[in-house]
């Protein structure tokens, strides 16, 4: 059988590379990880039309968007290694025709490899609209590689591109360089002596004192440095300058611009950017945009109409009513609105999907339960399938519609070009904290769900930046945490008259503050690094392509389900077993009295004494301990478990537990702080393990989450319970800040000494 052609897509960010990949591969695309790293790998197949069942396919690998083949970021290392080591048959270099000189810089590096290259001159439609022209025939003649004009967005020229690509796969291409310097020939001779593949590329990297080159080709690299021992030139700067000295006149030869007045030179994108990237109004517009995104996705009170006093009565009751085991269920109650307000589009679809008692999933789950009861199945069988398996499945699937809607909004913002503007505006602010503007997107996604937020951290430039960002994402209050915060707020309102709205707002702000302080501390201690340069070009605004948008959202949602589904399902089954059986594996009553989980809760209860809900809570304090443990499975379980176990204490709900255990307001606050900041749900833990990669970093991340939440919970309890302790804690905090500043200055002096 003929070997399938493998093609790598390489291009700058915002060159239209991903749009081209989606247009070429369609439903054949799949997502995984590159071997050994957490960066996303996208592969797919392009089929030539009209060949029936025996269609000829070309495998396409979408390499990360990068600006050069120098090893400054993980994405650059991945792309470079793939071309050099995996040796694709052809590399399609996607070029933004509206920004030739910047895009062709990486092309000059690619041409130094012994690999067939095809230039896909993208966005020719946008180029035409701007009145500019590019002589791609002359460009092909000058660069000595095929050039095909295309529009990935409008799917024009793609068939011609793939025909040329197929033809080039059978041809060999000898590398050449546009750099005119006699030293290169001498260095290439050294590399040929050691029989290094792609000698020209490696020779130039040795001149640039490339870190990877020094590691992978030690002998040749050492000989080059010996040759250059008396040469004081900074070849990295010299070579970069020579590339642009070649590209500037080349681009002038092949492109023309229409004669326009200064006012006419402003494109539509320029005029929009004048408002959307304004240092004041740009931030305001961004905040309003994000408010609408989250309001439309997660709110159960659209536009806060309920909060403003609009009376919705008892809410929508739902037309369908079913009775299972003598209990009445209305799976679609509250579908359109509740007594609290109108549902957002995200909440609407969330209710349609439902859980094991509501929505479509509820109808399926209750139907299974009804059948099991009709067949007189043992209680443990009913409990295992209904409370264990189906509860675990619906816990994930019920949230998928909101995840997809959130991804849709973010994909629209990304494909239109607006997301790049948000990162651009926030880079200056975030840089002061120790991360680049890119980190904003995964952090803000943490308000929706930590799982997709952590996955999105793959876009960050360095391992340390990804570590810092992933560690603080759980501090942003997700939708699951909002539920238990609201119930705790109600309990505090009854107990001591604290305004529920003020408490909820304070918890959200607390999470943000802790995240910012954590990043600052990590950046000055364990995760020290110079904030990586955030170089980006603001792409022209585009109308998102429906096909590309649908594929992007589908892939992200599928990835979310696969990552989260298995771990939540497994953990739910385990928790069900522990809460329904005693140590002799005999089933306990429905309240879990005498269960393994209760015994474990009572055993661990003393651990939370410094937080105020340990031994102070008496014999029933184990309920709060178990609730906190359940929160590690899923944050919704914190109050759900407490509400269920309230019947053991003989009280009504979480408020009743607070009153029965005699917890002080300080202890309830500490309980809130601990569960807000501690180890996130199992699904997020599993995602963090995958995304962090390094086992040691992952373990320390888990330890960090627990210790930080425990210490802050203890400080909260002691400070509010015994106000006089502030006379100790405040000076200690000031002393720690001073020590951090001294340590930072000491490390800076060390780093400067090493650099010099």
pLDDT, one tens digit per residue, over 538-552 is: 777 777 777 777 877
Question: What contacts 24+ positions apart, CB below 8 Å, involve 171-175?
Answer: 171/116, 172/114, 172/116, 173/114, 173/115, 173/116, 173/117, 173/145, 174/114, 175/111, 175/112, 175/113, 175/114, 175/115, 175/200, 175/201
Distance, in Å, from the CA atom of 65 to the CA atom of 38, rounded to the nearest integer, reads: 15
Residue 359 has pLDDT above 60, yes or no: yes
Domain with 337 in it = 300-398
Distance, in Å, from the CA atom of 629 to the CA atom of 620, rounded to the nearest integer, reads: 15
Tens digits of residue pLDDT in 248-295: 899 888 988 765 554 455 667 778 888 888 888 888 888 888 778 877
Instruction: Check whether residue 69 and residue 161 sit in a common domain.
Output: yes
Q: What are the two backbone dihedrals, phi and then psi, of residue 9, each rounded to the nearest 5 degrees?
A: -95, 125
Tens digits of residue pLDDT in 678-704: 888 877 888 888 788 788 999 999 999
- Of 256, 275, 308, which residue sits at a domain end? 256
Instruction: Check whether residue 122 and residue 28 sit in a common domain.
Output: yes
Return the CATH number at 66: 3.40.50.300
Tens digits of residue pLDDT in 723-751: 888 899 899 989 998 998 898 888 888 87
Instruction: Check whether residue 28 and residue 154 sit in a common domain.
Output: yes
Question: What contacts 24+ positions apart, CB below 8 Å, involve 319-326?
Answer: 320/363, 322/363, 322/366, 324/366, 324/369, 324/370, 324/373, 325/369, 325/370, 325/373
pLDDT of the residue at 489 = 72
pLDDT of the residue at 266 = 61
8: confidence class by pLDDT, cuts 50, 70, 90: very high
Return the CATH number at 202: 1.10.287
Would you mind telling me the total number of residues written for the chain in this entry? Answer: 756
| Helix (H), strand (E), coil (C) string for 474-500 | HHCCCHHHHHHHHHHHHHHHHHHCCCH
Task: Give start and end residues of each alpha helix (H) in 82-198.
Answer: 100-110, 124-129, 136-143, 158-168, 183-193
pLDDT of the residue at 222 = 92
pLDDT of the residue at 68 = 86
Instruction: Check whether residue 79 and residue 192 sit in a common domain.
Output: no
Average pLDDT over residues 240-255: 89
| Helix (H), strand (E), coil (C) string for 527-581 | CCCCCCCCCCCCCCCCCCCHHHHHHHHHHHHHHHHHHHHHHHHHHHHHHHHHHHE
Tens digits of residue pLDDT in 176-211: 999 888 889 999 999 999 999 999 999 999 998 888
pLDDT of the residue at 87 = 92
52: confidence class by pLDDT, cuts 50, 70, 90: very low
As a 3-state breakdown, the chain gives helix, strand, coil percent values, each rounded to 5, of: 65, 10, 30
108: confidence class by pLDDT, cuts 50, 70, 90: very high
Instruction: Check whether residue 242 and residue 342 sit in a common domain.
Output: no
**488 Cβ contact partners less than 8 Å away, ≥ 6 residues apart:** 503, 639, 654, 668, 671, 672
Tens digits of residue pLDDT in 415-433: 787 887 887 787 777 777 7
Instruction: Check whether residue 9 and residue 156 sit in a common domain.
Output: yes
- Of 398, 428, 462, which residue sits at a domain end? 398
Provide the token pair at 260: 């326009």
Instruction: Check whether residue 164 and residue 198 sit in a common domain.
Output: no
Residue 243 lies in a domain: yes
Average pLDDT over residues 149-177: 91
Residue 632 lies in a domain: no
Residue 338 lies in a domain: yes
Cβ-based burial of 431 (10 A; exposed 0-12, middle 13-18, buried ≥19): middle
Provide the token pair at 430: 């975030």
Cβ-based burial of 560 (10 A; exposed 0-12, middle 13-18, buried ≥19): buried
Tens digits of residue pLDDT in 648-670: 556 666 777 777 777 888 888 89
333 neighbors 313 (Cβ within 8 angstroms):
no
Residue 197 lies in a domain: yes
Average pLDDT over residues 88-92: 95
Residue 192 lies in a domain: yes
Instruction: Check whether residue 365 and residue 324 sit in a common domain.
Output: yes
pLDDT of the residue at 659 = 77
Average pLDDT over residues 3-26: 87
Residue 580 lies in a domain: no
- Of 104, 133, 168, which residue sits at a domain end? 168
Instruction: Check whether residue 249 and residue 315 sit in a common domain.
Output: no
pLDDT of the residue at 204 = 92
Instruction: Check whether residue 20 and residue 140 sit in a common domain.
Output: yes
pLDDT of the residue at 50 = 54
Which residue has better confidence, 625 or 459? 625
Residue 76 lies in a domain: yes
How much is the pTM? 0.65
pLDDT of the residue at 648 = 54
Instruction: Check whether residue 344 and residue 230 sit in a common domain.
Output: no
Question: How many separate domains does the chain show?
Answer: 4
Distance, in Å, from the CA atom of 193 to the CA atom of 678, rounded to the nearest integer, reads: 58
Residue 526 has pLDDT above 50, yes or no: yes
Look at 138-152, 487-501, 544-558 and tell me which has the smallest mean pLDDT: 487-501
Percent of the chain with pLDDT over 90: 22
pLDDT of the residue at 448 = 65
Residue 106 lies in a domain: yes
Instruction: Check whether residue 247 and residue 104 sit in a common domain.
Output: no
pLDDT of the residue at 117 = 96
């Amino acid at each position: 059988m003929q070997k399938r052609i493998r093609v790598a897509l390489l291009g700058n960010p915002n060159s239209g590379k991903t749009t081209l990949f989606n247009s070429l591969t369609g439903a054949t695309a799949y997502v995984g990880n590159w071997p050994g790293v957490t960066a996303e790998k996208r592969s797919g197949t392009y089929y030539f039309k009209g060949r029936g069942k025996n269609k000829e396919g070309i495998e396409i690998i979408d390499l990360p968007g990068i600006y050069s083949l120098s090893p400054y970021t993980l994405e650059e290392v991945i792309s470079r290694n793939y071309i050099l080591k995996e040796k694709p048959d052809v590399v399609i270099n996607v070029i933004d025709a509206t920004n030739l000189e910047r895009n062709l810089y990486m092309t000059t590096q690619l041409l130094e490899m012994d690999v067939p290259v095809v230039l896909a001159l993208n966005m020719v439609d946008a180029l035409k609209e701007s009145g500019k022209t590019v002589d791609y025939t002359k460009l092909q003649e000058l660069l000595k590689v095929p050039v095909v004009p295309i529009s990935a967005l409008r799917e024009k020229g793609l068939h011609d591109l793939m025909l040329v690509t197929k033809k080039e796969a059978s041809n060999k291409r000898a590398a050449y360089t546009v750099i005119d310097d006699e030293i290169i020939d001498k260095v290439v001779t050294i590399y040929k002596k050691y029989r290094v593949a792609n000698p020209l590329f490696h020779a130039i990297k040795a001149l640039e004192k490339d870190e990877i080159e020094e590691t992978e080709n030690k002998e040749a690299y050492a000989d080059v440095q010996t040759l250059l021992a008396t040469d004081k030139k900074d070849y990295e700067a010299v070579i970069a300058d020579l590339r642009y000295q070649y590209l500037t006149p080349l681009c002038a030869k092949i492109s023309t611009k229409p004669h326009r007045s200064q006012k006419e030179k402003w494109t539509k994108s320029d005029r929009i950017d004048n408002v959307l990237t304004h240092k004041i109004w740009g931030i305001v517009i961004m905040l309003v945009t994000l408010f609408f995104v989250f309001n439309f996705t997660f709110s159960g009170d659209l536009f806060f109409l309920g909060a403003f006093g609009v009376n919705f009565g008892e809410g929508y009751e739902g037309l369908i009513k079913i009775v299972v085991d003598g209990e009445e269920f209305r799976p679609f109650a509250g579908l359109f609105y509740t007594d609290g307000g109108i549902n957002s589009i995200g909440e609407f679809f969330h209710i349609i999907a439902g859980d094991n008692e509501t929505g479509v999933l509820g109808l399926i789950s209750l139907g299974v339960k009804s059948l099991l009861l009709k067949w007189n199945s043992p209680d443990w069988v009913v409990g295992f399938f209904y409370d264990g398996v189906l509860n675990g499945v619906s816990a994930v699937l019920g949230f998928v519609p909101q995840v997809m809607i959130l991804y849709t909004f973010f994909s629209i913002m990304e494909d239109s070009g607006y997301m790049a503007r948000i990162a651009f505006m926030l880079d200056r602010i975030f840089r002061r904290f120790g991360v680049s503007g890119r980190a904003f997107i995964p952090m803000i996604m943490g308000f929706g769900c930590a799982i997709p937020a952590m996955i999105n951290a793959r876009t960050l430039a360095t391992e340390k930046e990804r570590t810092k960002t992933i560690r603080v994402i759980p501090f942003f209050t997700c939708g699951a945490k909002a539920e238990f915060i609201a119930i705790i707020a109600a309990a505090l309102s009854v107990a001591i008259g604290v305004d529920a709205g003020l408490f909820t707002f304070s918890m959200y702000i607390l999470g943000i503050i802790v995240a910012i302080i954590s990043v600052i501390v990590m950046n000055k201690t364990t995760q020290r690094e110079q904030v990586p340069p955030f170089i980006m070009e603001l792409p022209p605004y585009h109308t998102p392509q429906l096909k590309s948008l649908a594929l992007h959202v589908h892939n992200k949602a599928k990835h979310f389900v696969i990552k989260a589904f298995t771990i939540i399902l497994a953990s739910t089954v385990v928790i069900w077993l522990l809460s329904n059986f005693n140590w002799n594996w005999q089933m306990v009553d429905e309240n879990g009295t005498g269960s393994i989980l209760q015994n474990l809760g009572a055993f661990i209860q003393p651990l939370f004494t410094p937080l105020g809900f340990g031994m102070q809570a008496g014999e029933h304090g184990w309920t709060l301990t178990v609730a906190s443990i359940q929160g590690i499975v899923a944050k919704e379980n914190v109050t759900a478990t407490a509400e269920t176990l309230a019947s053991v204490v003989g009280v009504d709900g979480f408020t009743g537990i607070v009153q029965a255990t005699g917890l002080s307001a300080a202890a309830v606050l500490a309980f809130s702080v601990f569960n807000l900041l501690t180890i996130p749900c199992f699904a997020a833990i599993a995602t963090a393990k995958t995304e962090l990669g390094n086992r040691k970093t992952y373990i320390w991340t888990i330890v960090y989450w627990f210790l930080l939440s425990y210490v802050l919970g203890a400080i909260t309890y002691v400070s509010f319970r015994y106000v006089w302790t502030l006379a100790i804690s405040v000076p200690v905090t000031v002393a720690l800040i001073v020590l951090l500043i001294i340590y930072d200055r000491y490390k800076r002096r060390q780093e400067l000494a090493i650099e010099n």
